Amino acid sequence: MLVKTFKATDMSEALRMVKAEMGSDAMILSSRKERRKGILGIFSKPFFEVTAAIDPRPAPKPVPAPREKEERELTTKEEFQKSMLGPLARELRDLREKVEKLSTRENPPPVPFKAEVTAPKSGGDNGTGNIARTIPKEDMEELKQYLLNAIKVKEKPDVVPAAFPQHKAEPEDVKILDSELQGVERVLARLSGELREAGIEKDAVGPLLEHVRPMAEITDDQKELKLSLIDAFSSVIKTAGPLRMKKNGPRIIALVGPTGVGKTTTTAKLAAMYAMHKGAKVALVTTDNFRVGAFEQLKTYSKIMGVPLEIAVTSQDLAKATETHADKDLIIIDTAGRSPKDHGRLDELKALLDSGLDIEMHLCLSATTRDKELADAITNFSVLPISSLLFTKLDEAENLGSIVNTHHRCKLPLSYFTNGQMVPEDIVVATPRKLANLVMKENA
């Protein structure tokens, strides 16, 4: 390191001397203000002393020969292409393939990307890592458009159904129809969107709107249209109504269905409804010897209600139990849950209930089940002579459009709805108006 001291009459002059001799890279080590010696210090003038240092400059490297320089540049370009452009090209190719697959399945294909990533000419990327400088301007615009389309395809949100009429956002098809249609068709399109948001499928919406059309031709008042829509449910939805007692002999019903839908609790609710509220003579029969505690649970309910309880393991046991209580008005049979996919168990249930008795079978289904699983359950349980559908757990479902969809597909009437665990309060007779109010959240 080279160290040198400079003296000047002022600081700025001293700094200029440092810069002139040692350059702008010099480091100031110290600076101080002094006075020159004079007679008793009189008439002496101050001066500034600055000490600076600098590292000697390294000797310049020899300029490589032209051929050596060319080989070095070539090596740099190859390394850059392998380390930066190669992976980028692969990522862009993979992204293009993924987006094309998505767009083929869901959306129109995005703008195709044809830009090729090439290694830069001499100088690489000048150490900046800016790969965009190596792609032509017109290809960069095409790349930007391609990536924008890819993001739109990847991030397209699913439509989240909301209960009618308190929906947060309208479906896209409703917005388009609102802008393109006028008059009656526009009103019906908006109602269609609200019903779809409530979980009702398009095929089930059509019959409802046909009943609303005459009112829509007269008025677009929302209150009147909602009342007309509730009336439309009465025309489209078929229900079994409450159980009516027979004059000669008991009415026998059996609750069947998948596991976990609440058949035993529903059995207790029906028994309490007719024994305690309607004064009917009721008897209970359980065939559930699979689930731990099933008999004890129903036995507890039977003691509270004061109704007899029988166990039937075979079809002969079932026939004997019904004969024992031939004097009753209503006999309710609680069966063990069966998986809709277990065809062997379903055949066993069919053999058990095929005792020559006139048994009315209600298929219990949970309102929280998806449409596809509901359809599969009805198809597989059709080995039994199902007379009506009984939907449970309405209080746990996000929306109740699945009930309308299921009824539209199978055409089976609806018998009862349960909406909680309280016995016997949380059960109601299924009616079209009740279903309409529940689906549309009107006075639910």
Each residue of 321-357: pLDDT tens digit?
999 999 999 999 999 888 888 899 999 999 999 877 8
Q: Is residue 103 domain-resident?
A: yes
Q: Is residue 244 domain-resident?
A: no
Output the CA torsion sign for 377, 378, 379, 385. positive
| 208 and 145 in a common domain | no
Q: What is the DSSP secondary-structure string of 171-202? A: -HHHHHHHHH--HHHHHHHHHHHHHHHTT--H
Q: Is residue 83 domain-resident?
A: yes
Q: Is residue 101 domain-resident?
A: yes
| 38 and 15 in a common domain | yes
- For the cut 90, the answer to whether the pLDDT of residue 239 exceeds it is yes
Nearest to 256 by CA among 319, 350, 321, 372: 350
Q: Is residue 245 domain-resident?
A: no
| 148 and 47 in a common domain | no
| 147 and 187 in a common domain | no
| 140 and 21 in a common domain | no
Distance, CA of 335 to CA of 356 (rounded, Å): 17
Which domain covers residue 14, as residue numbers?
2-54
| 289 and 181 in a common domain | no
Each residue of 9-47: pLDDT tens digit?
888 888 888 888 888 777 777 777 776 655 544 556 777
Each residue of 388-420: pLDDT tens digit?
999 999 999 888 999 999 999 999 999 999 988
Token reading at 287: 């065939």
| 428 and 289 in a common domain | yes
Residue that terminates a domain, selected from 101, 120, 154:
154
| 148 and 176 in a common domain | no
Q: Is residue 404 domain-resident?
A: yes
| 409 and 307 in a common domain | yes
Residue that terminates a domain, selected from 196, 212, 236:
236
Which has the minimum average pLDDT: 8-17, 54-63, 283-292? 54-63
| 276 and 330 in a common domain | yes
Q: Is residue 382 domain-resident?
A: yes
Q: How many domains does the chain have?
A: 4
CATH number at residue 327: 3.40.50.300
Q: Are 384 and 350 in contact (CB under 8 A)?
A: yes
| 407 and 329 in a common domain | yes
